[in-house]
Structure formats: C-alpha cells, structure tokens
Amino acid sequence: MIATDVCVIGAGPAGAAAALQLQRLNISCIVVDKAIFPRDKICGDGLSGKVLTALNRIDKSIGERLCQLQEKEDSWGVTFTAPSRDSLDIAYQPDYNPQAKTGIPAGFVCKRINFDNFLVTELKRCPDIQLFEGQSIDNFTLQEDGYLLTDAAGAFSVKAKLVIVANGAHSAFTKEVAGIHMEPQHYCAGIRAYYKGVTGLHADGFIELHFLRSLLPGYFWIFPLPNGEANVGISILSSVVRKRKLNLKKAMQDIVANDPVMKERFKNATLASGIGGYGLPLGSKKRTLSGERYMLTGDAAYLIDPFTGEGIGNALYSGRIAAQQAAACLQANDFRAAIMKKYDDEVYRVLGAELGLSTRIQKLANRTWLFNFLMKTAMRNKQLRELMSCMFYEIDLRKKLTKPSFYMKMLLNRS
C-alpha cells in the first residue's frame, strides 16, 4: 500500500491542474489514472482563453510551452449560425484585424489526445508527482486517518489523507460518496467525429456553432484542426434527447448528408475516426462539491458551462483551487467537511456568476425568434458585434443578453 498526503484520481485537465498546483506549493502527491497516455477523450477539442489563463496562473512556463505545442490550430473567434441560417463572425478580441494579427490568439483547437498528453508530460517533469497510469481506483473507504483507495481487485491500494476526485463525467465517487446523480435537465449528451476535407473553414480558425432549428436548444459544431481535419459534433440536453427519442449519431449523419449547406461542405469530406459519444455534466445547478477528506473537481463536480459546453477551463480552475484548499487543510491538519466547504465557496466565487449567467442564456437559446433577431441585428450593427466580442471577456457585458432592455434598445436603434 502506498501512503500519501494527497491522492488525485484522474490525470485529465482537472487532475493535472491539481497536481501541478500542489507541486508548485511544495506538496507531493500521487496521481492515478486508469488510462495510459496518450489517450483520446471525446470532446470538441476547443481550448478557450480560460485554458491558457488557468495554466499561466499555475506557472507561466506551462502556458508558454502550450503556446509552442505544434499539434494545435490557432483560433481567433467564433462563427455563429442562427436557425434562420444567418451567420455572424465574432472575434474573441474586439481589435481583431485579419490582415494584422498580433500576439497570442485567444483560443486554440487541439485534439485531446495531444492536449491531455501535454498535461501529463508536465506532470512527468515534476519529481514530486508520482503518476500511476493504467490503474483504476474503484473502491473508496473512509477511515479515521484518511481514505483507503483500491482498484476492483484490491491489488493496488493507496492511503491518502485527502482525495482530489478528478475522474470525469462518469465518476463513481461522485455518485456513491458525494451522492450526486445525473439529472437529464442538467446534463448534455454529445457526440464527436473527426473529418478530413470539410470545405469553407475560416482562414483564422474560427470555430463554428450552428444553431440548427432541428437541434435547438442544442447545436452542431465544426472546429478546425491542423492538417485539414475538423472536429465535428452535436451537443444537446439529455432531457431533450429523451423527450424526442433522438439518435444523435443518426442526427449528425443526417445533417452532414442532407442539410442544404452542410452537404455541399462535406461533399468531398471523409470520416477520419469513429463517431463517439460522452456525457457533459452541466454546472446549471449548484451542488455540494466536497465532504470529509475529499473535493470533487472538473466534470466529476459538474462544472461544464451550460451554454457553450466548455469544461476544460473550469476543470483547470477547479483543480487549482482544490490544490490550494488541500494545502490549507494539510497545514491545519483538519479535513472535516466544514473546512472542506471552503473549496465549494471558492469554486462558486470564481465560476458561479458565469455558470449562472450561461444557464440563463442557455434557456434563451431555445427561443428561435430571439436568436434570429439578435443575429440579424448584429450583422448590421458594428457596435453590437464589438460588444459581443467584449462579452467573451466581460461577464458584466454578457449579463446584458439576459435583460429585456438590451433587446428593446436594439429594436429602437437598428442602424
């Protein structure tokens, strides 16, 4: 049996961030992942600006190394397509100039097989992080002085004063210990495939979100990757999938083959992977994320943005916060649930406002007319387009989207 102060279950973005931050706080830890890296993870592969910010906060040199990673596409913005089929390019930065791009792009698209392996390589650079790959943690027993964690056969065991749970959307710990269960109205189903040769991709790597009428409140996406590849997928609320008895794989194949715009763009495209699906646990409901001697992070803590489906940034943020709380607990030698709750408070202090706002915007996205109106107006109105760019950074500006007065002003000023 291995004894440690902190055991991190999972080496995805949440677990890696936790371990890397612990190492920067001079706390050694054990990280256990059931996979052997490099491993794939079903995802849109979109890395928002939050990802770089989070890594820079752990250590600027990690952010610098990510910027140097070859296997990623720079992304300077998003193309939204409304149900009316009006399309609008919104740059991540209001001063974006396609002819004179300067600095670091605000986003990247990077296959998870590469991005997560980048993070694991960072773990391997740290002598105080002991990483076990190909090793699952399946049983968790709370004892007086810590958690006993073992695999199903009981052949591998770790005793830890504190556990950081970072094992993703299907975490058994989340269900069995924290008592958090999947609720279809707070959960999305997503599928993804890689295609080669999709035409009409944006020259500056804009990611594309298509709010097709048949999929609302979900969307179809195309995210450009290096070497002429694209990540293509669908994400939609699980409650809607159930109600409409949707087969997402069929829905996606139908769009690619029959949608009047997409069938042209996919005419010469070839499928470069299988079509895989996975769950997205949404942060549209506040939950208890910790208890005696444990903290849930990333998808295991249901922290995915309910509007955009982004979870990597929030996974990194929560992992880092968990490491900081772990340091405080170890120093005080106090792991009671009441103390661990400071972790919940900090996570929701940092991410709560944005999650709440995205929940409200997610509900608005269901209203086709509102979407079409917003898009049509923005196409004509430069000021509004600039405002939308700023919304990627400014949460207070994004709040405007949920206020009726915002739409009234646009109605009165449609220049």
The smaller minimum CB distance to ligand FAD, of residues 15 and 77, is found at 15
Q: Binding pattern to ligand FAD, positions 284-323, x when CB under 6 A?
A: --------------xxx---x----xxxxx-x--------
Q: Binding pattern to ligand FAD, positions 138-177, x when CB under 6 A?
A: x---------------------------xxx---------
Which of 2, 24, 25, 35 is in the footprint of ligand FAD by CB under 6 A? 35
Could you tell me the smallest distance in angstroms from the CB atom of residue 71 to ligand FAD? 16
The smaller minimum CB distance to ligand FAD, of residues 357 and 384, is found at 357
Q: Is position 43 an interface residue for ligand FAD (rule: CB under 6 A)?
A: yes
β-bridge pairing 157-165 and 2-9: parallel
| 332: phi then psi, degrees, rounded to nearest 5 | -85, -5
Sort residue 45 into left (φ over 0), alpha (ψ -120 to 50) or beta.
left
**Contacts for 166 with CB less than 8 Å, ≥ 6 apart:** 8, 9, 10, 11, 12, 14, 15, 18, 297, 298, 300, 315, 319
Give first-to-last CA distance, the chain, whole Å: 70
The smaller minimum CB distance to ligand FAD, of residues 45 and 387, is found at 45
Q: Using CB under 6 A, which residues numbered 388 to 407 contact ligand FAD?
A: none
Which of 4, 7, 12, 290 is in the footprint of ligand FAD by CB under 6 A? 12
Could you tell me the smallest distance in angstroms from the CB atom of residue 43 to ligand FAD? 4
Q: Binding pattern to ligand FAD, positions 210-249, x when CB under 6 A?
A: -----------------------x-x--------------
Could you tell me the smallest distance in angstroms from the CB atom of residue 121 to ligand FAD? 14
The smaller minimum CB distance to ligand FAD, of residues 176 and 394, is found at 176
Alpha carbon distances (Å) from 264 to 44, 228, 231, 256, 298: 22, 16, 17, 9, 38
Q: How many residues belong to the site for ligand FAD (CB under 6 A)?
A: 39
- For residues 243 and 390, give the distance between their C-alpha atoms in angstroms, rounded to a whole number: 36
Convert 275-311 to b/e letters by CB count within 10 Å (16 or more is b): bbebbbbbbbeebebbbebbbbbbbbbbbbbbbbbbb
Could you tell me the smallest distance in angstroms from the CB atom of residue 404 to ligand FAD? 30
- For residues 172 and 215, give the distance between their C-alpha atoms in angstroms, rounded to a whole number: 30
> In 266-365, which residue ranges form alpha helices assigned H by DSSP?
312-332, 337-364
Could you tell me the smallest distance in angstroms from the CB atom of residue 189 to ligand FAD? 8
140 in Cβ contact with 154 (< 8 Å): no
18 in Cβ contact with 320 (< 8 Å): yes
Alpha carbon distances (Å) from 290 to 119, 124, 156, 164, 344: 25, 28, 25, 9, 7
Compute the half-sphere exposure of residue 125: CA atoms within 13 Å on the CB side of its CA: 12
Which of 14, 27, 90, 340 is in the footprint of ligand FAD by CB under 6 A? 14
Could you tell me the smallest distance in angstroms from the CB atom of residue 10 to ligand FAD? 3
Could you tell me the smallest distance in angstroms from the CB atom of residue 147 to ligand FAD? 13
| Max Cα-Cα span within the chain | 70
The smaller minimum CB distance to ligand FAD, of residues 178 and 387, is found at 178
Which of 6, 8, 11, 230 is in the footprint of ligand FAD by CB under 6 A? 11
- For residues 331 and 392, give the distance between their C-alpha atoms in angstroms, rounded to a whole number: 37
Q: What is the DSSP letter of 156?
A: S
Q: Using CB under 6 A, which residues numbered 64 to 123 contact ligand FAD?
A: none
Tokens of 376: 């049509």
Could you tell me the smallest distance in angstroms from the CB atom of residue 171 to ligand FAD? 7
Could you tell me the smallest distance in angstroms from the CB atom of residue 325 to ligand FAD? 17
Q: What is the DSSP letter of 106?
A: S
Which of 33, 122, 229, 354 is in the footprint of ligand FAD by CB under 6 A? 33
User: Would you tell me which residues interact with ligand FAD (CB under 6 A)?
Assistant: 9-15, 32-35, 41-46, 136-138, 166-168, 190, 192, 233, 235, 278, 280, 298-300, 304, 309-313, 315
